[in-house]
Amino acid sequence: MLPNMPPNAVVRGTNVAAVATQQQHAYQQQQSYEQVQYEQHAQQQQYHYDQQQQQQQQFAHLQAAYDHAAAAAAAAAVAASTNQDQAPSSSFEDHTPPSPPSQSFENAYGAPNLDAFSLGGTVHHDPKPPAKRKGAFRQEHAIKYGLKVIGPTTAPVSKVQCMFCVHYGREVSADDTKRKMNVKGIKYWTPPFRTDHYAMHHDLQHKVMFQHYENSSSQERLHFFEPDTVHRLRHLVPKVASSSSLDNMDKSKDNKPSTKRGKTSQSRVDPTPTKPTLDPFKMMLPPTEIPHDMQTLVDIYVGHHYTPLEEKWKALTTVASLVAQHVRNGFLETHIRRALLAGASKSEVVQVIMQSASFIGLPKTMDAMKVAHDVFLQGAADSQNQNTVFL
């Protein structure tokens, strides 16, 4: 150390030398690491190159084998043609052997894909396009044949139902072979969906309504199964006969005596008149809508000759309804008094109460008779019964 140099300068110089030494050592380590990485990369490239060379040699061997097989096939063809020439034949041109194939191995089998044999690689096959599902439901058939999808509409349709069965019911055919078919329930279809199945069902079970549906416009078809349209067109559907009546018709047909007779003179036997065929459409009445007011409904059934009930019968009707409703004893007592004042006799009041015994029970009937008995005696009802519920 120099005599005039401060001690802090000596320490600072020592630290700088140490830092420079550390930096040089780190640089050398970085250089050695990069050298190792470069050598590893070079080895990998060499390995890939060797693999490609080996594959090319294999393909070259396959091509040589193919050429050898093609030459053998050509030699066999020439030998066969020579044998044919030795046999008697019309001309030499008729038995000319086919020329051997001259296309290369790559043109016949395609050039090899070397990327598929790289290290760690796998052979990737192109996925086949999904096959179309046969018999799938088509949405345009819903409007064309009057169908409705059952279940979620996003997934493939698995079930549809006939809207004619839902809203109009199944029709009955006059043919004996079709009369015994199923005329109840709703028809459903599951995959595979076929249009001939729809057409067959409509022809057998909805012949009239489906013909009317086909004659309708596209806008009318959209509203064909709405409540107003169903109510307006329901009278067009032939009435469904019950199963018992159909069985009776079959039995009567089987038990019908034979009408065959021997030959008689035409003058002594009258010709049997043929039974007229009844048209079901002419026998049907137009639909009558249910009125919304009471007076119109009464006029329909009594022929505009409605007269209100007498006060006596009104009071007895009120008593019967109160007995059935299990009202309070005091309220029932008031209306029994009104019935007596309106001209009803005691026997009529008792008959009204006893008629309710079959569905209200004996204890409740006895309670109502006790109330009526108090009224008949013209005595005040028990004070304890004024606020009790008539049960």
Residue 276 has pLDDT above 90, yes or no: no
pLDDT band at 387 (very low <50, low <70, confident <90, very high): very low
Mean pLDDT across 211-222: 91
Q: How far apart are CA 306 and CA 287, in angstroms?
A: 24
Most confident of 68-82, 204-218, 355-369: 204-218
pLDDT in tens, 230-248: 888 888 888 655 444 555 5
Nearest to 62 by CA among 101, 102, 103, 109: 109
**Diameter over CA atoms, the chain:** 175
Which tokens go with 21? Answer: 């030494």
DSSP 47-90: HHHHHHHHHHHHHHHHHHHHHHHHHHHHHHHHHHHHHHHHS--S
Specify the pLDDT at position 285.
Answer: 45
Interval 119-143: pLDDT, tens:
444 555 556 665 555 678 888 999 9
Q: Tell me the mean pLDDT in the region 108-123.
A: 51
Q: Are 121 and 51 in contact (CB under 8 A)?
A: no
Q: CA separation (Å) from 30 to 23, 51, 345? A: 11, 32, 126
pLDDT class for 281, splitting at 50, 70, 90?
A: very low
Q: Which of 131, 135, 134, 166 is nearest to 150 (CA)?
A: 166
pLDDT at 90: 47
Read off the pLDDT of each residue in 82-101 and give the average, rounded to a whole number.
54
Q: pLDDT averaged over the chain?
A: 73
Measure the CA–CA gap between 291 and 221, rounded to whole angstroms.
28
Burial of 98-114, coded b for 16+ CB within 10 Å and e otherwise, reads eeeeeeebeeeeeeeee
- Any idea which residue has 């790289």 for tokens? 118
- Could you state, in order of their start, the residue ranges of all structural domains in the chain? 1-40, 140-241, 311-385
3-state secondary structure of 126: coil
- Nearest-10 Cα torsion for 202, 205, 209, 211: 40
pLDDT at 18: 86
Q: Does domain 311-385 have CATH number 3.50.50.60?
A: no
Strands 147-149 and 188-189: unpaired
The full DSSP string for 89-125 is: -S-SGGGPPPPPP---HHHHH----GGGGSTT----P
Average pLDDT on 312-330 reads 80
3-class DSSP state of 216: coil
Is the pLDDT at 267 greater than 50? The verdict is no
Most confident of 190-199, 244-253, 322-331, 357-366: 190-199
Asked if residue 91 has pLDDT above 60, the reply is: no
For residue 177, give both structure tokens.
């072979």
What's this model's pTM, rounded to 2 decimal places? 0.32
| Residue closest to 239 by CA, chosen among 279, 291, 198 | 279
CA atoms within 13 Å, Cβ hemisphere of 302: 11
- Yes or no: say if 209 and 229 are a contact pair by the CB < 8 Å rule: no
In angstroms, the CA 67 to CA 56 distance is: 16
Whole-number Å distance between alpha carbons of 172 and 207: 10
Higher confidence at residue 179 or residue 36?
36
- 112 pLDDT higher than 80: no
How remote is the C-alpha of 186 from its chain's centroid? Answer: 13
What angle do helix axes 329-341 and 362-376 make, rounded to 10 degrees?
Answer: 50
